Amino acid sequence: MVEMPRGPVMLGVEGLVLGDADRARLLHPLAGGAILFTRNFESAAQLEQLNVAIHALRYPRLLISVDHEGGRVQRFRDGFTAIPAMRTLGEHWDRDVAEAAREATRLGGTLASELRKCGIDFSFTPVLDLDFGSSGVIGDRAFHHNPNVVAHLAAAFCDGLAAGGMAAVGKHFPGHGFVAADSHHEIPVDDRPMERIAVADLVPFAALIRKGLAAIMPAHIVYPAIDTKPAGYSRVWLQDILRERLRFDGLVMSDDLGMAGAIGEGDIVARAEAAVAAGCDVVLCCNDHAATDDLLARWKAKPSTELARRWAGMEGRSPKPFP
């Protein structure tokens, strides 16, 4: 086992087991963790073996993540509970507030405990975007259109995650739900003034930050009334608003630098440098392994004590007894 601090890159793994190229990437000083996808899953037993192998490479161990929200976005299914889309909790809220909150906590606990059992350290959840009825890529991934309902249900869901031993990642700051465009394929533009965003989209983020949210993922969206750069590349959003105004002190992780919404800054190294200069602690390079190799070969970033502290906030805890 190699001893080295966690770096600022979270990267994808190619298949069901670690190949030589995977090991070389994960042992690079810039690597801080791995993100897994459906391509990395065959069974719960296989997944656990893969995660054991990743964790055994380094000390402190690399942290392993997944986009596993429920509904459309659930990477592992066979042997895992089918978590419903978060909109179902919002619909439940409209019928019975207390029961919806209890169900949100139960589902968060189920999701976390099942993933932790297989060696996943955290999932990129909950979605804090609002359901404005205009975003197909968000849609039923959002809890509700009302920001206060989203805040309450997301907080209850995070209670479940914590009980299952898992930190939470709120996304997509400052809000992806208003725009119709999908940032996986283009750069969306949200023309609303700050006043409208502040009283709606920012409400769940502010509430979860006060609750101690461990990490946030910014959106690859341009809000031209606030800044000309996408939020993930914007010091205005990440420093002035997120760090100073909302007083967030956790880990900021970029969305995938391979997405179309991220490519405006240049090649993969330029994107990573721009994200970190804006205020991201960690950058994601998920699916383009050649780009990952290029990033690891040419980027000159160095780990810091601040990065180590924020990474430590994402470490999984022993799950509490959960029904």
Query: How far apart are the C-alpha atoms of 99 and 41, rounded to whole Å?
Result: 33
Sign of CA dihedral 295, 259, 54, 14: negative
Sign of CA dihedral 49, 126, 321, 323: negative
255 is catalytic: yes
pLDDT in tens, the chain (323 residues): 889 999 999 999 999 999 999 999 999 999 999 999 999 999 999 999 999 999 999 999 999 999 999 999 999 999 999 999 999 999 999 999 999 999 999 999 999 999 999 999 999 999 999 999 878 889 999 999 999 999 999 999 999 999 999 999 999 999 999 997 666 667 889 999 999 999 999 999 999 999 999 999 999 899 999 999 999 999 999 999 999 999 999 999 998 898 655 566 789 999 999 999 999 999 999 999 999 999 999 999 988 899 999 999 999 776 655 44
SS3 of the chain: helix, strand, coil, percent, to 5:
40, 15, 45
Q: Which of 140, 190, 227, 255 is catalytic?
A: 255
Contact call for residues 303 and 8 (beta carbons, < 8 A)? yes
Domain 2-312 in CATH 3.20.20.300? The answer is yes
| Strands 251-256 vs 282-285: parallel, antiparallel or unpaired | parallel
For residue 91, which amino acid is it? E
7-34: b (≥16 Cβ within 10 Å) or e: bbbbbbbeeeebeeebeebbebbbbbbb
Which position has the token pair 């190949």?
19
Q: Which of 184, 240, 249, 294 is catalytic?
A: 184
pTM: 0.94
Residues 6+ apart with CB under 8 A from 175: 128, 129, 130, 190, 197, 200, 201, 202, 205, 219
78 is catalytic: no
